[in-house]
Amino acid sequence: MYKKTILIFLLILGSTLVYSQDSLLTIQQAVESAYNRNAELQQLWAQLKQKQDVWRTETGISAPEISYFKEGIGSGPGDVFDEKRFTISQEIDFPLTTSYRLKGLKEEVKALEYRILSREKEIKAEVKGQYVEVMYALFLQKSRQHQLKLAQDLYNAVYTRFETGEGNGIDLVNAELKLDEAKNDLDQSEWVLHKARYGLFFAMGLPVEDQKYSIQFSDTLAAENIEISQIFALAVQEQQPDYVASEHEFTASEYFLKEAKSNILPDIRFNYYKQNFGTGYDFNGFEVGLKIPIWYPFEQKGKINMAREKQQEIQWKQEEIKLKMKKQIEYAWHNYSVSRSIINRYNLNMKDKASKLQELSLRAYQLGELDLLKLLNAQQTFLSSEERYLTALRDYYLQLVALEVFLEKDLVY
């Protein structure tokens, strides 16, 4: 009986541990979920598969045409002028035109592959950013709980002095208001947490039925402690997937421009036929024809002009990509640098001093050596420094995530 009870206990404990482990959502699991469920990314993969098969429809080889011809239907069977003909016709584009077209399509496939890589990086940054927001909301909630405790301690101290006749009613009302404000801030932090959670679930594409309150998150995030050189960050601009994709798009446009120019060359038509002219005469024939583009000012010139304008569009797109990347890198770098300075300053100096100031002020007030205004000021200094630290910590991780988009390594994990 004793062994059976122990066995049941171990099974329950084991199932509890498994459940607890399964309900923990790590940042990498969130990213993988987003890769598998992001609708836009899946559409891009579907477009890539389509683009990879486009060349099969653009070979410049039309479907063969089979025809039957007979002349003299109204004459008798012995009429020497009866004629029958079976013909197989095949039309193809000029080979040089087809070659340029297929090369352009190949470059478009490469461009789309890099666009997918770029979108994957953006999705990873988006999901990691949302995960950071969840972590910030969790720490903010703990900070608000601490704030409530301080407000409760303040109220208790003021009430004690009021009961002993050393305090006054104004101080007591003020302390009551501070306590209610702390409760309001704690309630507000609950909403911030739920907003961050569902923002993360949306970025992950997590199904509604899997969005449960039992999901837990890592208590801490790890960040690689490296010095990110501003010059290095800016030097990788032309290696970014978006820019490389635009380069392949430009190369494709060059091939399509050559294709448009080659349209002035004639297409080729082949005919093979077997005919019977009269009685007892069987012939095999072969015919080659050229389709001459005599309406150059309309169709051919229009295609050439369109291809040139497409090239200009891509060139301006490249300029936009470079300017946008530089702005994003500069913003991320400088915000990262400032946030890191605030965090280091808080950990080295402000945290201990603000905490000590708050404790000493509360004790001094309890002993009647300090008025309520100075005590409130000390508490506000402590809470403000803690809140600024949390904001800086969030920005620090968010900017590392933003820099990940441009660097070939994970900075937050």
Q: Do β-strands 83-92 and 65-71 pair in parallel, antiparallel, or remain unpaired?
A: antiparallel
Q: Please count the other Cβ atoms lying within 10 Å of the Cβ belonging to residue 15.
A: 10
Q: What's the residue count for the chain? A: 413
Q: Please count the other Cβ atoms lying within 10 Å of the Cβ belonging to residue 390.
A: 19
Buried b (16+ CB within 10 A) or exposed e, 83-100: eebebebebebbeebbbb
Instruction: Name all contacts of 154-161 with Cβ < 8 Å and 24+ positions apart.
Output: 154/178, 154/179, 154/362, 154/375, 154/376, 154/379, 155/179, 157/362, 157/365, 157/366, 158/372, 160/366, 161/365, 161/366, 161/368
Q: Please count the other Cβ atoms lying within 10 Å of the Cβ belonging to residue 370.
A: 17
In angstroms, the CA 405 to CA 121 distance is: 6
DSSP type of residue 409 = S
8 Å CB contact between 398 and 129:
yes
Q: What is the dihedral of CA 137, 140, 144, 146, to 10 degrees?
A: 130
8 Å CB contact between 321 and 246:
yes
Strand ranges in 174-281 using DSSP code E only, listed in sequence order? 216-217, 267-277
pLDDT of residue 10: 36
pLDDT of residue 108: 93
pLDDT of residue 80: 54
- The alpha carbons of the chain give a radius of gyration, in whole angstroms, of 38
Nearest to 311 by CA among 107, 110, 119: 107
In angstroms, the CA 24 to CA 201 distance is: 14
Which residues, 6 or more positions from 290, have their beta carbon under 8 angstroms from its beta carbon?
Answer: 266, 267, 268, 269
In angstroms, the CA 230 to CA 360 distance is: 43
pLDDT of residue 252: 92
DSSP type of residue 88 = E
Nearest to 101 by CA among 227, 265, 237, 212: 265
DSSP type of residue 31 = H
Nearest to 249 by CA among 303, 304, 321: 321
Single pTM value for the model: 0.79
Which spans in 205-298 are helix H?
A: 230-235, 241-262
8 Å CB contact between 287 and 271:
yes
pLDDT in tens, the chain (413 residues): 434 433 333 333 343 333 344 588 899 999 999 999 988 899 999 999 999 999 888 888 888 889 888 776 655 555 555 677 888 988 888 888 889 999 999 999 999 999 999 999 999 999 999 999 999 999 999 999 988 998 898 888 888 888 887 777 888 888 899 899 999 999 999 999 999 999 999 999 888 888 888 889 887 777 766 666 666 666 677 788 989 999 999 999 999 888 888 888 888 888 888 777 555 557 788 888 888 877 767 777 888 888 899 889 998 988 888 888 888 888 888 888 888 888 888 888 787 787 787 787 878 877 777 787 787 888 888 888 888 888 888 888 888 888 888 887 888 88
In angstroms, the CA 195 to CA 163 distance is: 43
Q: What is the dihedral of CA 200, 202, 203, 207, to 10 degrees?
A: 100
Buried b (16+ CB within 10 A) or exposed e, 150-179: bbebbbebbeebeeeeebeeebbebbeebb
Nearest to 337 by CA among 281, 406, 402: 402
8 Å CB contact between 92 and 62:
yes
In angstroms, the CA 128 to CA 34 distance is: 10
